[in-house]
């Protein structure tokens, strides 16, 4: 069957998602297929960011941390991202970059394995994973004296031997578009005694994701691709509640900072992690970028 441009336009006209297209601003005549790298500009973003600068910063000044809701933006945005990835309210925060969030969750997962199963000394990932994920994993393995085992996509379950601590994968491959079966691979990792860390950079906002359905352990994802948050937008992080509240200081995420403290304005000299995913925050967040991400 051949499909003409006219046929495509006719089908577009019947598309139930058609109205959503009008919420985004593209130069006339551009058909944009690069949302996997930089999502398009929502129509509301420019005015909302201008208002945050002029009113909230310019007029509200320091009061805006509370009166404009700046301080709670990581949790508020996390709650908006949660339904896109099969997470519950209160389980996600928007913060930092994908690379940095991956460092936090991978480090926490490796620390959990070191406490719970110290004979497990291997981190498995896919050779064709996005390079920053592999570099973060390489550096962590070097620091902890672990082995990074990179395999082809078809060899993942076979690589889940009894010495594996963590399996780290990207759900949808950035180059091929191939999508892993998250529930079955996570189940295989758990059956082998390993934790499963998922990068959702190319799935959140693009395809259905169900972290709870898959019983995943940790996840991170990107704000400037399919979430249309703008260049360098904050990323997000999720930990399954069975992990997020663990008390042992040996398994804290490594970037302990005051925004992740149980009582940030008590200004105590010692760290006490906040409940749940809030402990995965580190320090002060880029509020103007957060405001833009909320429009996306
Ligand atoms: C785009 C992408 C990143 C980007 O990480 P940054 O910290 O935002 O540079 C990370 N991982 C994957 C799998 C990606 O596709």
Residue among 201, 202, 286 to mutate when testing ligand 1 (max atoms within 8 A of CB): 201
- Give pLDDT tens digits for 58-107: 999 999 999 999 999 999 999 999 999 999 999 999 999 999 999 999 99
CA distance 282 to 261: 9
Strands (DSSP E) along the chain, which ranges? 24-25, 41-42, 92-95, 122-126, 147-151, 164-170, 195-199, 218-221, 235-239
- Please answer whether residues 56 and 68 qualify as being in contact, where contact means their C-beta atoms are separated by less than 8 angstroms: yes
Atom 4 of ligand 1: nearest residue by CA position: 98
Which protein residue has the closest C-alpha to ligand 1 atom 13? 130
27-69 pLDDT per residue, tens: 999 989 999 999 999 999 999 999 999 999 999 999 999 999 9
Q: With beta carbons less than 8 A apart as the criterion, state whether 282 and 47 touch.
A: no
How far, in Å, CA of 106 to CA of 237, rounded?
11
Is 80 exceeded by the pLDDT of residue 205? yes
Pocket test for ligand 1, best of 98, 104, 218, 237 (most atoms within 8 A of CB): 98
The token duo for 125 is 């990932």
Asked if residue 187 lies in contact with residue 165, where contact means CB atoms within 8 angstroms, the answer is no
Q: How far is the CA of 71 from the centre of ligand 1 (A)?
A: 25
Taking the model in full, what pTM does it have?
0.96
Residue 101 Cβ inside 6 Å of ligand 1? The answer reads no
């Amino acid at each position: 069957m051949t499909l003409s441009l006219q046929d495509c336009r006719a089908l577009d006209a019947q598309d139930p998602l058609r109205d959503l297209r009008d919420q985004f601003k593209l130069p006339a005549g551009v058909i944009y297929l690069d949302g996997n790298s930089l999502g398009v500009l929502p129509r509301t973003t420019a005015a909302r960011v201008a208002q945050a600068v002029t009113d909230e910063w310019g007029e509200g000044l320091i009061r805006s941390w509370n009166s404009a809701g700046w301080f709670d933006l990581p949790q508020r945005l996390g709650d908006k991202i949660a339904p896109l990835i099969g997470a519950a309210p209160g389980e996600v925060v928007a913060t930092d970059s994908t690379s940095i969030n991956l460092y936090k969750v991978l480090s926490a997962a490796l620390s959990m394995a070191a406490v719970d199963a110290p004979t497990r000394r291997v981190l498995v990932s896919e050779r064709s994973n996005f390079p920053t994920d592999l570099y973060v994993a390489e550096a962590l393995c070097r620091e902890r004296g672990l082995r990074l085992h990179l395999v082809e996509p078809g060899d993942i379950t076979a690589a889940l031997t009894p010495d594996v601590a963590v399996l780290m994968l990207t759900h949808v491959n950035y180059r091929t578009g191939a999508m892993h079966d998250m529930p079955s691979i996570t189940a295989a990792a758990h059956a082998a005694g390993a934790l499963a860390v998922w990068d959702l950079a190319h799935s959140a906002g693009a395809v259905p994701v169900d972290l709870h359905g898959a019983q995943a352990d940790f996840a991170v994802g990107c704000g400037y691709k399919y979430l249309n948050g703008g260049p360098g937008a904050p990323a997000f992080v999720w930990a399954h509640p069975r992990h997020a509240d663990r008390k042992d200081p040996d398994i804290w995420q490594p970037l302990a900072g005051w925004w992740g403290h149980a009582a940030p304005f008590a200004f105590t000299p010692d760290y006490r992690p906040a409940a749940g995913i809030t402990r995965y925050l580190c320090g002060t967040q880029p509020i103007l970028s957060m405001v833009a991400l909320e429009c996306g």
